[in-house]
Structure 1
């Protein structure tokens, strides 16, 4: 299924604080593609944003920060694992707009080396002046965040609580808007994409893209996700729910069918944040052929899935595949020992 031109959706009725410098580019990868049986691989460079080290979460944060500011918030709290890219970018966005920021981070990944515990994203969280709550992996981070918000509100603070990955329906609007951006770029480039490949963690990026395609009258199963957080069945259910909630924010009459959600768990390995050989090979291949860096937790596993799909013959010569580069570069330093 290929992308066709579509009228731009209007997101102006939703509060928004611009954090991106404009549309992120789509680039062809000629050297890498040359070794992939005639399949053309393109990348959507959502890693190329200046704020906070860049990354896809800024799209969600434009709407989340917008909603927080519209409600008069002076503080934002969010949750994640210790090396959360979303937490890092929430802290950076809060610094940009003048909000106090608290991060509730769990030891969800069983890594205890100094690089993971103190380097990468966690180093940057401190530079952005975020207050970090360090919780064990078994903790209910969102409940802790809600309780902390109550505590701060009794002190007169106006607190906005942001969910895991920023993947509320409001946050997912960022990727519904990204779907429209991709459609416009596809038309301008004269290239139709046969697949859009993404990592699926909290489900918000894939859910938002699907909602944007459905809202544009296009085929949503164009998006293929690789699960990096949990099993495919769980990821599919969460993503479908987010896609429907987001689509209905745009138009209450829209519905997303379960057949629109394609998720593959073959690259999950032993679980979230746990490296695989395929991920290491994918990170090295993209770096050594195109000079591009992807993170080991999300992009690395999803790109490994894309490569395996090509090698398995799922795509034919002449197919155009778009991979969304989500950023997360600081994670490479947290996983230094794996490379």
Structure 2
């Protein structure tokens, strides 16, 4: 196992299933569409952050931590799963919710993930600026300093990419190993991987895993927060860091290998376009699989667009990584208004 030298907490239900989506495959008459069910990782409704948290919490265990702190949007899946991880470890937990989406609807502010955070008893702080990763992280580090004075040994899971060790990306190196073993066991040749690209921990981990295993599989990331130039740079920086962690030559990441597209991003983070809403409804109707408006809905919209544009062909097998996010659907009742 590529990540064997790193401490890992046991938080996830693994391996997650790899399944064909037969109805979507038939509907779009394109490649065989497979889904890697990382919405089924188990912890507090699951999602991709559970794999990441196994390594963040592992690092915290190395440092004898007894408290977790992190920051994210009001409907952040990462925040919800961090709270759950802390509860499973028996640790104190404090989280910060940022004002990233311009809505004050009761459902968005109180249903879904924020409801679950309160249910699990997290201490919640707020941060009124939505596009200030460094400032949001600083607020959490400042709070961690206060907790240290109170006798805790806190561990902060930061948001920004600057000078941070991407411990969470190790979870997606492991995911690629798992996916490779599943494909080998079934004789499936994977021709492409599609995912949503936000913090870049998942995207960078998948890229590093593909490179470390010497796999010739393109990874397509659909931007959910920033434009494709900024996101490409972010993924490249993190991927190089992860390769170093794996003792793999970072120069194996060649120019052009990181593929990011921002055409599904508008109108912005956490706000789905009509095409994204259509992709969410189509996936729910055809497969009974629930996607969220922030990450997976946009990634599926991107995948469908690739099929419609002929970028993925009938003879290929594409794997869509379902990164979870189901609870946030309850913050968007407008998605089914008039249905």
Task: Tell me the TM-score range normalised by the shorter chain.
Answer: over 0.9
Residue 150 (structure 2) pairs with residue 158 (structure 1)? no
Q: Is the 8 A contact 2:140 2:156 kept in 1?
A: yes
Distance in 2 of aligned mates of 1:217 and 1:82: 38
> Partner of 2:320 in structure 1?
323
- C-alpha change, 1:128 and 1:165, in structure 2 (3 Å) is farther
Give the corresponding residue for 2:93. 101
1:278 aligns with 2:270: no
Q: In the alignment, which of 20, 28, 42 is matched to residue 12 of structure 2?
A: 20
CA contact (8 A) 1:168 1:204 kept: no
Shift of 1:253: 3.1
Question: Relative to structure 1, is the Cα distance of residues 57 and 168 closer, same or farther in structure 2, using a 3 angstrom cutoff?
Answer: farther
Equivalent in the alignment of 1:65: 57
For residues 194-213 of structure 1, what are the structure 2 equivalents within 5 Å? Answer: 194-213=191-210
1:80-159 to 2 correspondence within 5 Å? Answer: 80-138=72-130, 140-159=135-154
CA distance in 1: counterparts of 2:33 and 2:118, whole angstroms = 37
Misfit runs of 4+, over 6 Å: none
The Cα shift of 1:192 comes to 0.8
Distance 2:324 2:173 in 1: 18
After superposition, the C-alpha distances for 1:39-89 in whole angstroms (9 at most, x for unaligned) are: 210100000122111101000000001111121101110011111000000
In the alignment, the residues of structure 2 paired with residue 283 and residue 184 of structure 1 have an alpha-carbon distance, to the nearest angstrom, of 29
Q: Deviations over 1:2-57 (max 9, x none)?
A: xxxxxxx3322101101112210100011111111242101000001221111010
Q: How does 1:236-247 map to 2 (within 5 A)?
A: 236-247=232-243
Look up the SS of the partner of 2:250 in the other structure. Answer: coil
Alignment length (residue pairs): 330
The answer as to 2:295 corresponding to 1:303 is: no
Aligned-pair distance for 1:168? 4.2
Counterpart-to-counterpart distance in 2, 1:85 and 1:111? 18
Map of 2:25 onto structure 1:
33
- Output the CA distance in 1 between the equivalents of 2:249 and 2:260: 25
Unaligned runs of 5+ in 2: none
